[in-house]
Amino acid sequence: MIPRVPVPRILVIAGSDSGGGAGIQADIKTITMLGGYATTAITALTAQNTLGVQGVHAVPTEFVVRQMRSVLDDIGADSVKIGMIGSAETAHAVADELERLDVPVVFDPVMVATSGSVLAGADTIAAFERLMRSASVTTPNLPELEALGGEAAVLAHGCHLLAKGGHARGRYVVDRLLAPNGEEVARLEGKRLDVEDTHGTGCTLASALACGLAAGMPVATAFEQAVRFVRLAILSAPGLGEGHGPVGHNLGHNPYERLEG
């Protein structure tokens, strides 16, 4: 019998992106590249591409929960990553399930896609408070952070805050990791990349962070790995589509070159 090799298990609760650049598709690619094993509970189906979101079909709440329980009862999880949640009802049901777990939770409060399409209504955003209470780290971009009430409001829920700086202006992007007491645990500054192919960066960052935490990394180390992975993925973007194209999760690696060599 072949011995089992331990692998970090990450349960991803998020929506599907038909264009493959964000959502569940980006999560699975990221976790696989970083050596983890991704399982999923899909909250919504979207018809979207690099130009925008053409349609959203929410998965019934009870079926989202059924997916979670199927995975947890058999495979288990070493961390959980939450992305697009679909509805306020689903947010509360997911929070109920998370209260039974004792693993790191990364919550990416997805509200608007890179293209500008709205992916969460006001009632869903209001329900995010319960998910932040369950989260180890919440990872909003600057507009999302403002919608959640600012740094103090997020930290009041007892989670770390990864404040993403991509929406700020300036030559450098500053990503900051804050502890629940407001102390800055880590920060990374990188030269702003003059590119448009950034679809899926938020999903990718949160999944990379969840993968690091599942592997037992300290939160600051997982944060640094996640930010660097996203920057490499942006630089490896394959240039697909006519709008905001996807990043390159395989970091530019071409297996066919090795096969041919």
Q: Is 239 considered catalytic here?
A: no
Q: Is 29 considered catalytic here?
A: no
Handedness of CA 199, 202, 208, 211 (dihedral sign): negative
Handedness of CA 75, 76, 79, 84 (dihedral sign): positive
Q: Which of 61, 138, 139, 201 is catalytic?
A: 201
Query: Mapping DSSP to helix (H, G, I), strand (E, B) and coil, where does residue 94 land?
Result: helix
In terms of DSSP bridges, do strands 137-138 and 105-107 run parallel, antiparallel, or are they unpaired?
parallel
**What token pair was written down for 21?**
């650049």
Q: Which of 21, 114, 159, 164 is catalytic?
A: 164
Q: Alpha carbon of 67 to those of 57, 75, 90: distances in Å?
A: 17, 12, 12
User: How many other CB atoms are found less than 10 A from the CB of residue 79?
Assistant: 27
Half-sphere exposure of residue 146: CA atoms within 13 angstroms, side-chain side: 6
Phi, psi (degrees; rounded to nearest 5) at 173: -100, 130
Query: Residue type at 177?
Result: L
Distance (Å, whole) CA 241 – CA 10? 29
Q: Alpha carbon of 172 to those of 24, 188, 194, 224: distances in Å?
A: 29, 10, 11, 16
Region for residue 101 given its phi and psi (left: phi exceeds 0; alpha: psi -120 to 50; beta: otherwise): beta
Q: Which of 86, 165, 166, 202 is catalytic?
A: 202
Q: How far out from the chain centre does Cα 17 lie?
A: 13
Q: Is 164 considered catalytic here?
A: yes
Q: Which of 39, 203, 204, 248 is catalytic?
A: 203
Tokens 């939450």, located at residue: 82
Q: Which of 43, 50, 138, 198 is catalytic?
A: 198
Q: Is 202 considered catalytic here?
A: yes
Q: Is 191 considered catalytic here?
A: no
**Which of the residues are catalytic?**
164, 198, 200-203
